[in-house]
Every structure is written in C-alpha cells, then in structure tokens.
Structure 1
Amino acid sequence: MFSLVFLLIGATMGAINDAKMVHYRLRRQAIIANSSNSWSKTEPIPYFFESGVRAVSEVRAQILAAIAFWQGSTCLNFKEDTTKTKGIKFISGNGCFSTLGRWPYGTQELSLYNLGCNNMATALHEMEHALGVNHQMTRLDRDSYLTMHEDRIVAGIVKEYQKKPNTQTFNLPYEYGSVMHYTGGSAAKVSGQATMEAVDKDYQQSMGGQEPSFLDVQIVNLLYKCTTVTCKTQLPCKNYGYTHPKKCNVCICPEGWGGAYCDQNPAGAVVLTASTNFQTYNIDFGGAASNVAKSRAHVINAPVGKRIEVKFPTLKTTDMENSCGKNGIEWKGKTDLRTRGVRFCGWNVPTKSYVSQGNRAVIMAYYYSGSASATVQYRYV
C-alpha cells in the first residue's frame, strides 16, 4: 500500500509538537538548516535500545521490522551500536517522537513504547522522520489539496499542520494516503469533526497510511540519491517505476504494476475484462492479523480508447474507523498509479459510480487485520 512527504532544509533548531492520528502524542523534532541532517549512504546508520525498550520483545521486534523495511527498500543500512554512544536511541518516552533527520551532536531519541505508539505504522512513520522526511500536509502546495481548519485543532498542535518553508518535494505528486499524512479528523477538539478536508471529497477517508507508500519510499531514495549510487545501470522501468537500489536487476513499481520492469500485472492479481454490459465480481479478502499489509490487486482491462466504469453495490469491512487503516477496498482509476487511491471501509459505502482515466483500472483489497469484501460491477464506456 502506498503516499508523499518531503525534506525540510531551512529552519532553526527547535522542539515542536506532533499529533499522530487520534492520539495526542508529542514529538520533538530538531530541524537542521544544512546537509548535516542527512545520514551516510556508505556507513551503516547506528542505533541502540534503552533498557526498557530492549526488555519488551514485541516492541523491539516491531522496531527491527521497521528497520528491515527501510534497509530493504533504500540504499541505507543500519547496524546496532553495542557501545550505545551514537546514532538513533530507541526509548520509551513521553509519546511518539523523533528527530527530523540526523542530529549531528551525538545520539538522538526516537520514542515508541508509550501512549499507543507500540505499532508498526508508528515505527515506520517515526523512522521516516529520522531519515529526514516531514509530514505530507505541511507541503507548500497543500492548499491545492486540503482545506485546513486550524480553529478545530487542539491547542499546541496547530503548528504541526502549518506549511513549512524551504521544502523539497522532488516534483512528486501530493498523496493523501502517505504514511506521513495525518487522518482527516486527527487532533480535533471535538471528536468526529474534520480538522482537514480533502479538496477532492472522495479522498476524505483516504488520508494517512499504515505503512510507507511507493512515494514514501521513493522520496527517501531521491533524498539520498540511492539508485545513482548503488546501481551502475538504470533499468528501463515503465509506469514511473525506478531501479531498486538494493536489487539492481528489478524495478520498484507503483501499486497496481508488477514484473521486473513495472509493465506487467502484480503477482497474484485477479484480471478482469470489461465489456459493454455490467459484469459482477465479488471480492472477499481477509485473514490473520499482520504487521505488514496483505493485499490483492484486481485489474480491469478495456479496449484501447475506452474507459472503465465501476460501481460497488455492497461493501463490508471490519474496519469502522474513518481512515480505513485496518482493512478496506481501494479504487485506483488514474493512469498514473503512483499515489494511493480512494479507500472505502466501514460507513463509507460508495453511492456513485467511478470512471477510470484510461482503459486499465485497479481495485486493491487489503488488510492488516479483519477482512474486506465488496460486490463490484464493471463495464467499459
């Protein structure tokens, strides 16, 4: 499952607050004004655990899984520092927080084991901060995608939602579904009230992510110039894919594409062929709880020059939250599949039809826990 983020380069040192999802968690972020906040691409990033975190095997396992994700998806490497004197120090602090980028003056703290921080999504989110990436909704172009209601946000949290100057987006598109984006109702004074409203109303329940998206990973690789450093030859990747910095013979593909060069359907995809009349397909996807998303792509094809219309007469998910984080159905009807699509779950049952931009569309079913099912009607127009 995949969203977008950015590097903050020009600001002063300081401590700023952070609200993650509906938990009011504090983050201390050191914002550094020069390149010293980037980690080395040639030396492993050191880390260690304070005694309290090391003693809790579940928390330690989630941290190690998050480290493995970033190490496996980028050119960066990590190594535990047995001297406990440098790098990232994983602690059980007052909330979930991380330094933004590398702190050049010794160890830096990353807190997880407290106030609902003990989950894989938060570990991945905080580690992306530690690598130098800030929140999606503080991009300078965010007003084209969000209406912000600062008066609805709890005191002391507003600055976490304000646009940050001197940011890099690497010309990547804005992504509602980024792991670095808050949910639409996060940090609300009144429960159930929207603090952010998507300009495209279809995405109101699609803000935030449980794990890094294609774009979340790509921005880290661009920030550290990963593919140009580790791979001698750049592959002819299609559909906005790019050469994997750790596996130089394959591409990293947007969700909805697969194969070595991102020009094939994803492995295990259900492939459907649209006709002029509505056809029906039933999606039923779920299983045991997992720290990593399980997903299945349903690819709908139509003749060249045609577009695909879909309806969802029925939808049933076990996730009743407003962010569709645990399980749901995702519609990806754009020709550019880099961003996460429109997600449905719980009470958010689609009441209208959706039409793709081109003659190929993707419906993703996914879960971390529970299940998602839907009846899909599709045809070409």
Structure 2
Amino acid sequence: MGIPQASLTYATKTFSSCCKFFFRVHIGILLFIFFNPHLQPLYDGTETGRNRPISQDLFESDIVLTVDQLKGIVLAEKERRTGRREQRRYKRKVITGSIYRWNVKQPIPYEFKSDDGNLINDFVLLFERYIDGWRNIIRSALNFWQSETCVRWAENGPGIDRVIFFKGSGCYSSVGRTGGRQQISIGYGCEDKGIVTHEVGHSLGFWHEQSRPDRDRYIQLKQEYIARGTEGNFVKRSIDESDDVGLPYDLGSVMHYGPNAFTIDWDHTTIETVDKNYKHTIGQRAGPSFVDVKQVNRLYCNDRCVGSTLSCQNGGYPDPNNCFVCKCPTGLGGSTCESVQPSDCGSELIASTLWQHLIYKGSQRCYWRIKTNEARIRILLDSVSFKCDATCRSYVELKHNSDFQQTGFRSCCSEKELEIVSEQNEVLVIVDATELNGEGSFNSGKPLRKPPPPIWVPGSENRLFRGTGSAGGKGGPIERFILNSIPQIRDPNHPVESIASIVTEFTLSQLLGASRDR
C-alpha cells in the first residue's frame, strides 16, 4: 500500500522545514566564527588553531593531564622558581616510567565512539558517510605508526587498557598509557591525518617538541605576542625532567608548535626560529618526521633487532619490522643509508668549483644528493615561488647540517636569494611539490652573479650556520650549486587540463658542466 498523498506532502514540508532550519543555524554559526578570530579553527592547520575556543581547558592546547602528571608539572615549576630540588615523578619529552608505557607485545586495542547525540533522521545517511571518512582517517594514521614502528593496533581488540576515539569539541589526548578507557578526541576540523598522528603520538608518550630543555638553541619566544593567560603553554622543561632518548631537537617534528601558536592575532608569530631559514618549517602536520618515528622505535622497539650486524649510516638504524634492512633519514636510501633515496626525478650529483644548475619538471617528491670530495658546498637558493604558507606544504628542503636525521629547512616563499654553506661535503635537496597551489615567475635570461663566500663558523654537530664574509679554514674551496625555481607551467594547447593539474617546475639546471652520476 502506497503512502497517502497528504502524508507524503506533510513529510516533504517537514523535511524542507528541517533543511531551512539546518542551513539557517549553520550559516549563522559560520558567520559567527568568521567574525570572531578567537574561534577560527585550523587557521594554521594545527590542533592549536582548532582548539583555540577550548585552549583554557587543556594543557599546551591539546593535552589532558592525569593528576600525577599535573602534580609533577606544578612541582617542577615550583622548583624552578625556588631553586630547590624536589623528587621527580616522571620525565618529559618521552615518559620513561613503565607505568605510562604501553605493552606492545600485544596490539593496542582501540574503538570508535561516534554517537553525536540527537540527529535529524533525514541527515542520518549523510552523517554516516562522514563517520566512515572520519574512521578511515584515524585508521590511516594508525597504519602509519604501525608500518613505521613495532607498535600494533587492533580495532575492537581485547584488553582493559584501550584508546577510545570520539568526536569531542576539538583535538586532544592524554600523554602515555593512563589506564582503562582513555580517550582521544578527533572533533570537527581535526579530520587530518597529520593531526591524528600528532594526537596518537601523545598517547604513545610524547610531549611537545618545543618543551625540550635545549629549545633555546633552535627557537625563541615573542612574549609580547602571546595571548594573556596562555603563557603556561610555553614552559620549558628542565634537563632533570626531560628525556629525549638521545635524539636531536627536530624543527620539523609533527609534535612541534606552529609559528602562530597562542598568538594575540594571526599577523604576529609567537615562535621564531634562531636560524631564520627554518621559519617556515615548524608546525608541519603532514606527518611524523624521521626523528619522531625513531623516538617511538627507541622507546618501544629497542629489543627487536638485538644482535643485528647492519651498519646503518647517517643516523639510520635497523628497521624493527625487518631487521635485515635500515630505516634511513628522509632523502637517503640504500641498504645502509649510504646513497640518495630513490625517486623518479632525483639523482646523485658531484659539485665542482664552478657554479652549476639542475633542471627538474613535475609535481612530485624528489631527492638529490650533492657531493664533493673533501670541501664544503655552497648553495645559492635564487628564488622559490611555491604557495607561501606560514608552514610550508609544498617546498624545497635543504639538509646542509652534518646530522641528516633532523628535518632540513624548508622554503616556499618568494624572498631574497639565500646562500648557505654545508657543514660537511654533502647536501641533501628535497623537493615536495605534491600539494602545490600557487603561481610565480622567474627570469633566467642572464647568468646569476657569483656571491661572496660566507664565513664558516665551526661548531658542534647540530650547530646552525650563520654569517657572511670570506671563507677560511680546512676543506679547500667551497663547491657551488645554485637552486632556482619556476613554480608553474600552463599548457596553452590544453587550458582545461592545466587548471585541473597544476605543474611545478623547479630548476636545479646544469649551467657549467656538472657531472651527473646516475
């Protein structure tokens, strides 16, 4: 028997009325958020921006503390102010006490709690589709940690201690295993794989990178631009209460604040990098860095490859998922991390005393390694015109320091030309144009000038290079490379395709007889 016409009309009118109410309410909410800067979510692409409306209820913008953790932080702050040493309860950057660690001999059980309260029946199907996508993003983030470490996850698996993912009013997590059913909120606006890996990183035992005691070598705070009442989110931990598991500070860590964290307005940065070249590197949420992954493996997986005879180079280490191969820093590959990471558009290059260029066309992720025998290498970054973001999404990354574990500095904005000198006789160049969305131009009609050589300031393993002038010291002549970029090419014969598929051209073109080792 069919539905009577009167009932059908009534149902249609009710549905229409619900729609009008739905759109009227939600448009009002969007306008309110747009005109209220304190409620603008994800303005900087991090959980800090998304959590701005609830930041007063969380520690360091996205952390839910246990009572013992809160007592430990208060105790440490009291000691800092009085100068009196008190008993330590735990250590930070990584929680080292076994009470906060997960037992990874068995998969960590997790489940989803997706009940969003009372829903209008007509929108149930739309909501269910959203929930499917929400769950898949979380699964993708867990799969990343699972593929890169020995930590395993089991959806609806057995066990008392477990992680519950739910859609709260922001993105937040506890730090380490807190016992029982601990929650991770992945609310509206947090549905990003990088943000989820960040929150899962907290649940595995990680605090924020910029709370490390050695941060002053890498960043400095702009106190005048930090919003009143949020200063406690920038407290630096002492050496006694911190544990970095022997790994260096990483400005490209997925656990690092962005440059605008807790700012009074989005036009001012609260965190500046000591080396200004790294200012667009901090705050990335594309995913965990090499150092992030290595920290998890040191914390949980050190017993997996005991007795391995692999001699991994450049900070690489035996892969806990396959002890017969090395896990290598980004940009490096080979059986022992001795060569450049394979890519369709990169290669090994030999520097000389003459200026050289390379040419690359495409919208891919590419890796080059520039080497010389014993000298250092000077690089001139002439122009970069990717989409200019506070934290680069498409970029040129240069690893010129001696520790290839750390993320190099990333450049995506059209600024004055930049010259650097490597700390050793090789440099890694990484181009990631996979998220390109911008335009620019470059005129290569005349040769680039040869810049004066900078002063080389010898220092510790991770010391950053600064200074200009004449070079001196050991190492002989400084070999030279010039890096330029033409960010976009449009095909006049296929204008529709060019709009749908933006192509980047990044040039490292050979100008004066570079040797190319394929």
TM-score range, shorter chain: 0.7 to 0.9
Residue 78 of structure 1: CA displacement?
A: 0.8
In structure 2, the CA distance between the partners of 1:154 and 1:85, relative to structure 1 (3 Å rule), is farther
Aligned twin of 1:49: 112
2:418 equivalent to 1:341? no
Q: Which among 125, 129, 140 is matched to residue 198 of structure 2?
A: 125
Matches for 1:101-120 after TM superposition, within 5 Å = 101-104=176-179, 106-114=180-188, 116-120=189-193
Q: Which among 347, 356, 360 is matched to residue 426 of structure 2?
A: 360
Aligned twin of 2:507: 375
Residue 220 of structure 1: CA displacement?
A: 0.9
Residue 22 of structure 1: CA displacement?
A: 3.6
Q: Determine helix, strand or coil for the equivalent of 1:261.
A: coil
Aligned twin of 1:332: 399
Matches for 1:58-207 after TM superposition, within 5 Å = 58-81=133-156, 86-104=161-179, 106-114=180-188, 116-165=189-238, 166-207=241-282
Matches for 1:159-308 after TM superposition, within 5 Å = 159-165=232-238, 166-209=241-284, 210-224=286-300, 226-229=301-304, 232-268=307-343, 269-286=346-363, 295-302=365-372, 304-308=373-377
2:50 equivalent to 1:23? yes
**Bigger share in helix:** 2
Q: How many residues align?
A: 348
Moved more, 156-165 or 33-42: 156-165
Moved more, 171-180 or 363-372: 363-372
In structure 2, the CA distance between the partners of 1:108 and 1:129, relative to structure 1 (3 Å rule), is same
Moved more, 247-256 or 277-286: 277-286
Aligned Cα root-mean-square deviation (Å)? 2.4
Residue 38 of structure 1: CA displacement?
A: 0.5
Determine if contact 2:402/2:424 at 8 Å carries over to the other structure.
yes
In structure 2, the CA distance between the partners of 1:223 and 1:344, relative to structure 1 (3 Å rule), is same
Moved more, 271-280 or 122-131: 271-280
Query: 2:420, 2:224 → 1: CA distance?
Result: 34
Q: Determine helix, strand or coil for the equivalent of 1:279.
A: coil
Q: Determine helix, strand or coil for the equivalent of 1:248.
A: strand
In structure 2, the CA distance between the partners of 1:82 and 1:276, relative to structure 1 (3 Å rule), is closer
Residue 279 of structure 1: CA displacement?
A: 1.6
Q: For each residue in 1:68-103, what CA deviation from the matched residue of structure 2 results, as whole angstroms up to 9, or x when unmatched?
A: 111111111111126797411111101110110111
Question: TM-score, normalised on structure 1?
Answer: 0.84
Query: 1:307, 1:373 → 2: CA distance?
Result: 27
Residue 146 of structure 1: CA displacement?
A: 1.6
Moved more, 45-54 or 70-79: 45-54
Q: Determine helix, strand or coil for the equivalent of 1:272.
A: strand
In structure 2, the CA distance between the partners of 1:178 and 1:227, relative to structure 1 (3 Å rule), is same
Aligned twin of 1:316: 385
Q: Determine helix, strand or coil for the equivalent of 2:369.
A: strand
Question: TM-score, normalised on structure 2?
Answer: 0.63
In structure 2, the CA distance between the partners of 1:352 and 1:255, relative to structure 1 (3 Å rule), is same
Determine if contact 1:312/1:376 at 8 Å carries over to the other structure.
no
In structure 2, the CA distance between the partners of 1:156 and 1:98, relative to structure 1 (3 Å rule), is farther
Q: Determine helix, strand or coil for the equivalent of 1:229.
A: coil
Residue 151 of structure 1: CA displacement?
A: 3.7
Query: 2:347, 2:361 → 1: CA distance?
Result: 12
Query: 1:103, 1:133 → 2: CA distance?
Result: 13
Query: 1:277, 1:86 → 2: CA distance?
Result: 61
Determine if contact 2:360/2:505 at 8 Å carries over to the other structure.
yes
2:110 equivalent to 1:40? no
Q: For each residue in 1:114-167, what CA deviation from the matched residue of structure 2 results, as whole angstroms up to 9, or x when unmatched?
A: 2x2111110111110110011000001112222112342224433222113411
Q: Determine helix, strand or coil for the equivalent of 2:340.
A: coil
* Poorly superposed stretches of 4+, deviation over 3 Å: 19-26, 31-34, 52-55, 82-86, 229-232, 371-380
Query: 1:369, 1:160 → 2: CA distance?
Result: 31
Moved more, 268-277 or 36-45: 268-277
Q: Which residue identity lines up with residue 319 of structure 2 in the other structure?
A: H
In structure 2, the CA distance between the partners of 1:316 and 1:108, relative to structure 1 (3 Å rule), is same
Residue 51 of structure 1: CA displacement?
A: 2.4
Instruction: Show structure 1 runs of 5+ residues with no match.
Output: 1-18, 288-294
Residue 202 of structure 1: CA displacement?
A: 1.5
The higher-RCO structure (CA 8 Å, 6+ apart) is 1
Query: 1:72, 1:231 → 2: CA distance?
Result: 20
Query: 2:232, 2:403 → 1: CA distance?
Result: 32
Residue 374 of structure 1: CA displacement?
A: 3.4
Residue 113 of structure 1: CA displacement?
A: 2.7
